Structure 1
Amino acid sequence: MKFSRIAAAVTTAALAPAVLIASPAFADGPGAPDAGHQPATTTPDQSVPDQAEEDRKTILAIIAHPMASEYMKEAGHKAIADGPKAMRKFIEVDQHKIRLDDYRIAISRLTADAGPGLKEGINKLLSSRHDIDMLRHFYEVTQYELRDDDNRIEISRLIGTGGPAVKEAGKKALKGTPADRTQFLKTGRFLAQASDDRVELSRIEESWDGPILSEAIGKLLNGSPTPAELRHFLEVTQYELRDQDNRVAIAKIIDGGGPELVKAGRAALAGTAADRTEFLKTGQHEARAKDQAAKDKAAKDKPAPGKDGQDQGNGSGPGTGTGTGAGATGNTATTAQGHTGAPLATTGAGDNTTLIAGGAGTALVAGAGLLLAARMRRAGAQR
C-alpha cells in the first residue's frame, strides 16, 4: 500500500507542469501579457535584419562613391541623423534626383578640355530628354569614344604641320590604342617637337651671319633646354636677336654712306623690326642707286679740266687776229717777259682779254717810235 501511493504521487508531480502550460486557462489568465507585448525571447532570431542599420550602411556606401557630390554627401548624412524614415526616403527617392543633377554637372564640366566632337556630343545630350542611365553611359563610355575621335583629328593635324620627328611619332600613335594617342598629345608631341626644334636651330645658326643670334643659339644647344624653352626661342627670342643683329648691320652700312643711304638707314633704325629687315633686303640697294645717280649727274655737269667754257689757242677767240701795228702781221699773241716764245696765259674771257691785247699793241707802237728817234740822232751825228 505504501509503495503504490508513492508511485502515484511521483507520476502526478511529473505530469502537472505540462498540463498547466498547455491549459487555455493559463494562457489567457489575468497574469498573461497583452497581444503584441509578449516578452522577447532570451535568444533573438538572427535571420531578421535590422532595416534601419541596413539603410544606414546603404547610405554610407552611396556617399562614398567617387561620383557622389558634396550635396549628395550632405543629404546622406542628414538622412542618417533624421532617422529610419528619412533614410528610407533618401534611398528610394532623394539619391536618384541628386545623382541625376550630379551627372549633369559632371558632364558639363567635360567641355573645359573637350575637342569639337565631344563638345557637340555633350550639347546634344543635355539639350534632349535623358534619364540617369543615359547620363551614366555617356559619362562612363561615350565620352571616351568621342575624345579618341577628337584626338585622332588633332594628331592628323600635327602630322601635317610638324617636322620629321613629329610626323613619325604621330603616325605611330594613330596605329596604337586610345591610351597611346592620349599619351602622344600629353607628352610625346612635345618631345618629338623638341627634336625637330634642335635641328631647325642648328640650321639657323649655320645660315645666319649676325653674331648675336648665332652666339645665343650655340649657348642654348650646348645646355640642357626643355622642350618649352626650345619652342619659345624659336617663336619669340630668335626674332628679337635677329633685330639686334640687323641694327648693328644697318649702322655699319650707313657709316660713310651717301646722303640717300644715310637717310634711308636712319629711318629704318627709327622704325619697326620689319622696316629694318626691308631696308637690308631692298631699301639699302635702292638708296645706293639714288646716290650713284646723283654722283653721275654731278660729274656730267662739271666742266672738263683746263676749259672755262670758251675755246682758246685756236686763233678764233679773243687775243688773236691780224695785227695793224708797224712791222707785224699775223698772230699777235705776245709772250710774257722772261719767257721765250710761250704764249701769255689769260685769266678770263671777254673784256680782260681785250685789255691785254690792246696794251700789247700800244707797247709795240711806242717801241717802234723810240727806235726811229735813235736812228735820226745817229744820222745827225754823222753829218
Structure 2
Amino acid sequence: MKFSRIAAAVTTAALAPAVLIASPAFADGPGAPDAGHQPATTTPDRSVPDQAKEDRKTILAIIAHPMASEYMKEAGHKAIADGPQAMRKFIEVDQHKIRLDDYRIAISRLTADAGPGLKEGINKLLSGKHDIDMLRHFYEVTQYELRDDDNRVEISRLIGTGGPAVKEAGKKALKGTPADRAQFLKTGRFLAQASDDRVELSRIDESWDGPILSEAIGKLLNGSPTPAELRHFLEVTQYELRDQDNRVAIAKIIDGGGPELVKAGRAALAGTAADRTEFLKTGQHEARAKDQAAKDKAAKDKPTAGKDGQDQGNGSGTGSGSGTGAAATGNTATTAQGHTGAPLATTGAGDGTTLIAGGAGTALVAGAGLLLAARMRRAGAQR
C-alpha cells in the first residue's frame, strides 16, 4: 500500500508542469499577447524575392558606373526586364564579358593622344594574354605612369629647342610632379613660348629694312596678341610680309637698270618667294656685273674722237694720191677739151677726193695758159 502511494505522487509531480503550461491561466498571464494578436503561422521562405531585389540594385549600380558602355547599359536593362534568372546571369557572367570588351575599347582609344611609350605599352598589353584585372590596372594606373614618361621626354625636347623662357619653365616642370609636367605641356609651354616670341619679333623688327613687315610687327606687339597669334605670325605671316617688301625692293632696283638687271629682276618677280630672296642676295649683283661688262666691251670696241679724225685724214691723203695719179693719167684729154676738174671727181671715192681733183684740174689749166703766153712772147721777140 505504501509503495502505491509513492508511485502516484511521483506521476502527479511529473505531469504537473505540462498541465500548468497548457492551461488557460498560464496563457492569460501578464506577458501573453492580447486576443486577436496571436503570432501567425510560419510564412514560406522569401529568399528568392529578396535576392531579385538585391540583384536589381547591383545591376543599376553597374550600369551607372562611368566605365559602363552603352552596350553594358543596354544589357543591364534587358536583364532587369527579363526577371530574376536573367539578372543573376548578368551579374555572374555577362557583365564580366562586357566589361572586358569595354576596357579593351577604352584602352585602344588612349592611343589617339598617346606618346611613344604609352602606345608601345598599349600594343604590348592588347597583343598578349590579359584578364580583367590586368586591363583595369593598366587603365587606372599604368597608363598614367607611361604618360608621365612620355611627358618627360617631350619637355626635354622643348628645352633643347626653345628660347630662354621655355627652357626655364620646362626645367621647373621636370623637377615637379606628374601634374606639373602635364600642365606645362597643356598651357605652360605656350605662355613661355609667347614670351620668347615677343623677343624674337622685336629682334626681327630691328634687323629688317622693309616697311611692310616692320609696320605689322609694331602693330602686333602694341596690341594684345594671344600666344597662338604670335606663333602664327612668326611661322607664317612674317614670310608673307617679307616677300611683299622684297617685291617692292626689286621693282625699285630694276627701275632704270641695265638689260641684264631688268631681265633678272622681272624673272624674280614672276617666280617664287625664294627666287626673289635669291635675286636680292646674289642675283642682282651678278646681273649688274653682266651689264657693266657689256658697257666696258662697247667702250673698248668704239673708236675715240681723235683717232677718228686721224683715220679720216689718212684716207684723204691716200685718196688724193690716187686721185692725182688718175688725174695725171686721164686728165690730158679732159684738159685739152677745156673741161674743169668735175668729170675727174667721178673717179674718186668721196667728197674730199672730188675737191682735190677739182683743184688739180684748175692748176693744170692755169699752167697751160702760162706756157702758151711764154711761147707767144718768144715768138714776138724773134720777129
Q: Same fold (TM over 0.5)?
A: yes
Shift of 1:32: 22
> Is the 1:72–1:99 contact (alpha carbons within 8 Å) kept by the matching residues of 2?
yes
In the TM superposition, residue 41 of structure 1 has moved relative to its aligned partner by 5.2
Partner of 1:294: 294
1:105-156 Cα deviation digits (max 9, x unpaired): 1111111100010001001001111111100100000000000000011111
With the length of structure 2 as denominator, give the TM-score of the two structures: 0.77
Q: Secondary structure at the match of 1:333?
A: helix
**Residue 50 of structure 1: CA displacement?**
2.2
| TM-superposition CA deviations, 1:74-126 (whole Å, max 9, x none) | 21222222222222111111111111111111111111100010001001001
Change (3 A) 1:111 1:319: closer
User: Secondary structure at 1:325's aligned position in 2?
Assistant: helix
How many equivalent residue pairs? Answer: 383
With over 3 angstroms needed to count, the CA separation of the structure-2 counterparts of 1:5 and 1:154, relative to structure 1, is same
Q: Percent identity of the aligned residues?
A: 96
**Residues 348/373 of structure 1: CA separation in 2 closer, same or farther (3 Å cut):** closer
Instruction: Give the drift of 1:356.
Output: 1.1
Greater shift in the superposed pair: 36-45 or 162-171:
36-45
Q: Which runs of 5+ in 2 are unaligned?
A: none
Q: Is the alpha carbon distance of 1:259 and 1:252 closer, same or farther for their aligned partners in structure 2, counting shifts above 3 Å?
A: same
Higher mean alpha-carbon deviation, 52-61 vs 268-277, is at: 52-61
Q: TM-score, normalised by structure 1?
A: 0.77
Once residues 131 and 187 of structure 2 are traced to their aligned partners in structure 1, the CA distance between those partners, rounded to angstroms, is 37
Q: Could you report, residue by residue, the CA deviation over 1:334-365 in whole angstroms, capped at 9, with x for unpaired residues?
A: 99999999999999987833751562463376
Select between 212-221 and 36-45 the one with higher mean Cα deviation. 36-45
RMSD of aligned alpha carbons = 8.5
Distance 1:203 1:34, change over 3 A: same
Q: Whose helix fraction is larger, Structure 1's or Structure 2's?
A: 2
Of the structure 1 ranges 14-23 and 68-77, higher mean CA displacement relative to structure 2 is found in: 14-23
Closer/same/farther in 2, CA of residues 64 and 344 from structure 1, 3 Å limit: farther
Contact 1:333 1:343 in 2 (8 A): no
Alpha-carbon distance in 2 for matches of 1:147, 1:337 = 126
Alpha-carbon distance in structure 1 between the residues aligned to 2:348 and 2:205: 66
In 1, the alpha carbon distance for the partners of 2:21 and 2:336 equals 184
Alpha-carbon distance between aligned partners in 1 of 2:377 and 2:164, rounded to the nearest angstrom = 122
CA-to-aligned-CA distance 1:25-65 (integer Å, 9 cap, x gap): 99999999999999955999999992222222111211111
| Greater Cα shift, 303-312 or 365-374 | 365-374
Q: Distance in 2 between matches of 1:23 and 1:183?
A: 85
Alpha-carbon distance change, 38 to 332 in structure 1, aligned in 2, over 3 angstroms: farther
> Please, which runs of 5 or more residues in structure 1 have no aligned partner?
none
Judging changes above 3 Å, is the alpha-carbon distance between structure 1 residues 250 and 31 closer, same or farther for their aligned structure 2 residues? closer
Q: 1:240 to 1:52 in 2, by over 3 A?
A: same
Contact 1:326 1:365 in 2 (8 A): no
SS in 2 for 1:321: helix
8 Å contact kept, 1:159–1:170? yes
**Structure 2 CA distance for partners of 1:71 and 1:268, relative to 1, 3 Å:** same
Paired residues of 1:165 and 1:192 also in contact (CA < 8 A): yes
C-alpha distance 46-23 of structure 1, shift in aligned 2 (>3 A): farther
Alignment correspondent of 1:37: 37
2:207: which partner in 1? Answer: 207
Inter-CA distance 303–54: structure 2 relative to 1 (3 Å threshold): same
Worse-superposed segment, 69-78 or 154-163: 69-78
CA distance in 2: counterparts of 1:156 and 1:74, whole angstroms: 46
C-alpha separation in 1, matches of 2:233 and 2:346? 75
Deviation at 1:317, TM superposition (A): 3.8
Cα 1:373–1:98, aligned 2, differ >3 Å: closer, same or farther? same
Q: 1:316 to 1:258 in 2, by over 3 A?
A: closer
Structure 2: distance between partners of 1:285 and 1:39: 119
Cα gap change, 1:309 to 1:33, in 2 (>3 Å):
farther
